[in-house]
Amino acid sequence: MDFLMFGPGIVLGLGCIGSAIGCGIAGMASHGVMTHVDEGHGKYIGISAMPSSQSIYGFVLMILMRNALKANTVSQMSAVGIAIFAGLAIMLSAIYQGKAAATAIQASAKQPAIFGKCLASLGIIESFALFAFVFALLLL
């Protein structure tokens, strides 16, 4: 049995699962807020899509990990270890970014002036997914 693509599949799957959950959480908040406000709906939809970037990190890691495995520069077990832990970090970042996005949507609906400030915390959470992404690249 060949486990060559097991690591790439794990990192892609975890990144996409996290993005789906995070976007779902933020999307639900966006829908609730849009029923109470008459304008600015686009910015709520934009915030709710922010956790989707983690699926891109998972996709890029999948491609690079696949290439490293085919070139035999990383072992299958190493790839699985990298995939599990980098994937979990990316997944959890997306989920918590979705939760923070949900509160950002609710807060900025009540006080539109704080919209930009709310984006700062989402960027900070995103940075942890970027750290996991870069560190996984260094391990490949």
Specify if 17 maps to a domain.
yes
- pLDDT for 118 beyond 70: yes
CA distance 14 to 44: 25
Is position 18 within any domain? Answer: yes
CA gap 8, 85 in Å, rounded: 12
Q: Which of 54-58, 60-64, 83-87, 104-108 has the lowest mean pLDDT?
A: 104-108
pLDDT band at 133 (very low <50, low <70, confident <90, very high): very high
64 inside domain:
yes
Is residue 90 included in any domain, yes or no? Answer: yes
Q: What is the pTM of this model?
A: 0.90
The percentage of the chain sitting over the pLDDT mark of 90, rounded to a whole number, equals: 74
Range of the domain at 12: 6-139
**In a domain? residue 1:** no
Q: What is the mean pLDDT of residues 90-104?
A: 96
Burial (0-12, 13-18, 19+ Cβ within 10 Å), 68 = buried
Residue 32 lies in a domain: yes
For residue 108, the domain's CATH number is 1.20.120.610
Residue 43 maps to a domain: yes
Structural domains of the chain, count? 1
Q: Lowest mean pLDDT: which of 1-10, 68-77, 90-99?
A: 1-10
What does pLDDT average to over the chain? 92
